[in-house]
Amino acid sequence: MGAAESTVVRRWSRHPACVARARAELRTVLEGWGLAPLTDVASVVLSELLTNAGQHAMVSPGREIETRFLLGAPGDAFRIEVHDASSAPPRLLDPDPEASGGRGLLLVDTLSDTWGFGERCGPGKVVWAEFGTGGGGGVRAG
């Protein structure tokens, strides 16, 4: 598989409607890569990462959020990356049971094999999650 076939890059506005469009794109990509069984879990993770970027990455108007879907060599991980222009790191919270929010990264931590964040080329950060690594959740910086 060539590099162009193993990485899909898209850009999205911060508008909440883009989350559904990104999930549809992810579904198409996973089906094309023969990974349709990952669609439900990966879609929830993507939704949480994009929603967090849209809500918490206070960036200039006109700046977009970038998603990257990456497929490693056979047997390697499938990876979702969400790039935004905010350098503020994501925070895994322990929300009050009565709270209406704050559980997004808990879902990412539970549903992905591993996840983390790091710097990116240009301003901001990348938050990523991997599937198929055989790991057991957990956050890594880098």
- Answer yes or no: is pLDDT of 4 > 50: no
Give the model confidence (pLDDT) of 18-76 as tens digits.
Answer: 999 999 999 999 999 999 999 999 999 999 999 988 876 666 666 789 999 999 876 67
Each domain of the chain, given as residue ranges in start order, spans 3-141
- Answer yes or no: is pLDDT of 1 > 50: no
- Where would I find the beta strands (DSSP E) of the chain? 7-12, 65-71, 78-84, 114-119, 125-131, 139-141
Q: Give the confidence band of 140 by pLDDT, cuts at 50, 70, 90.
A: low
Residue 54 is predicted with a pLDDT of 84
- Domain 3-141 coded CATH 3.30.565.10: yes
